[in-house]
Structure 1
Amino acid sequence: MKRVVIIGSSCSGKSTFAKQLADKLAMAHIELDQLHWLPDWVERPDPEFRALVDKASAAERWVIDGNYSVARDIFWPRATTIIWLNHSFPLVLYRAVTRSIHRSSTKKPLFAGNIETFRHSFFSRESIIFWVLKTFHTKRARYVNLLASDELRGINIIELSGQKQVDAFLDNV
């Protein structure tokens, strides 16, 4: 596992898992959300974002987490391993709600200093909870097809379903 991509639905635990894996493997952790978001929840323009992803993923060893299809063609072909956190919908929705409560109550700065507010988390069309409800099932179906693609031949693909599998995988690294 020299270059590892962590994918999964929003709130599946990609960043937490990627950081833990990167620490265990003594590799750089690249969080695509960190490269994507600008202050005030403004999305970085695609060409700029792609350039940052290209530069970050040119290294010899890394763990990248994120689902940004706009840059997938850059870092997936460089990967030696893709790990899909394929958790159940109830678990992911639970994590979206509890994460939103935690982040909005602690006001801990996230990417580019952005802060999740209670209003944004629970009463906005940009809410991560709404996003999970809207995208979970289509993303899951898309990953089934993407990961079966001939283009990924030679890349080690690992599917982890449920936190017990995630924990066991990390324990065995």
Structure 2
Amino acid sequence: MSTELPTLESLGPRIMICGPSNAGKSTLAVALARKLDAEPYHVDLFRHLPGTDWVQRPDEEFAALHDAAIREERWVMDGNYSSLMPQRFARATGIILLGDNRWANFRRYLWRTLFQRRSRPGSLSGDRDSIKWGMMRWILIVQPPKREQDRARLRAAGLPMVELGSMAQLNRLYRAWGLERRVRPSAPASARGRA
């Protein structure tokens, strides 16, 4: 990341937030949406059924929820899901790519799953979360080698983009853009109502 952050306004009214699991995407989405008077969307909530321990929706329903959200005029959407990125790129006006090392992301995963017994941005209703070997493998083994490929794909979209490589850089962005972290349930009404 360059030493000079772009302005928030340069990213426009529809912002994608991408990056590894447990890097702060959902919390940032809520903070940005509050600042921009936009709707925060968490792609994980489109993918998974509410009130479950991350049980996936059928693919067609997942895509329909995602595509309905990106048709809105103003939004901040966190999540990756490469199969749906082409249509997201077509509607987005800016991208933020978060990053941190795998061990920091892994620590945050353990903390939020084992000890954070309250709703957090991006969590499923009911907070029925549990440690999953597949998720640990994803964070520590599968996801890190894909980082350069993901970065190249996002850059190729040709949208204004901010890249952050650590939690320290993310904290700097919060300060520079006057963002406020507030922990409260953040699923938009439109996602909560689509069980």
Specify the code of the residue in structure 2 equivalent to 1:129.
Answer: M
The equivalent residue for 1:18 is 29
1:171 alignment partner, SS class: helix
- Structure 2 distance, partners of 1:107, 1:12, is 18
Is this contact kept in 1: 2:18–2:80, CA < 8 A? yes
Aligned pairs for 1:3-14 (under 5 A) are 3-14=14-25
Q: Retained in 2: the 8 A contact 1:53–1:74?
A: no
Q: Deviations over 1:71-123 (max 9, x none)?
A: 112212211111000212232122122222224xx275941435013xxx0xx
Contact 2:118 2:127 in 1 (8 A): no
Tell me the secondary structure at the aligned position of residue 76 of structure 1. Answer: helix
Cα shift at 1:30: 0.5
* Residue of structure 2 equivalent to 1:47: 60
Higher strand share: 1
Q: What corresponds to 1:60 in structure 2?
A: 73
Matched, 1:159 2:167: no
Paired with 2:167 and 2:141, the residues of 1 have a C-alpha distance of 23
Quote the residue 2:146 is aligned against.
Answer: 139
The answer to whether the 8 Å contact 2:103/2:140 transfers is no
Runs of 4 or more, structure 1, over 4 Å off, are none
Letter in 2 for 1:87: D
Structure 1 stretch displaced more, 131-140 or 75-84 = 131-140
The alpha-carbon deviation at position 70 of structure 1 amounts to 2.2
Are the counterparts in 2 of residues 37 and 112 from structure 1 also a CA contact under 8 Å? no
| Number of corresponding residues | 162
Confirm or deny: 8 A CA contact 1:50 1:70 kept in the other structure: no
Is the 8 Å Cα contact of residues 18 and 65 (structure 1) preserved in structure 2? yes
Q: CA deviation at 1:130?
A: 2.8
**Normalized against structure 2, the TM-score is what?**
0.75
AA matched with 1:144: R
Gaps of 5+ in 2: 1-11, 178-195
Percent same amino acid at aligned positions?
32
**SS of alignment partner, residue 10 of structure 1:** coil
Q: What is the match of residue 112 of structure 2?
A: 99
Larger helix share, 1 or 2: 1
1:85 is the counterpart of 2:75 = no
Q: What corresponds to 1:74 in structure 2?
A: 87
Note the aligned Cα RMSD (angstroms): 2.0
User: Deviation at 1:157?
Assistant: 1.0
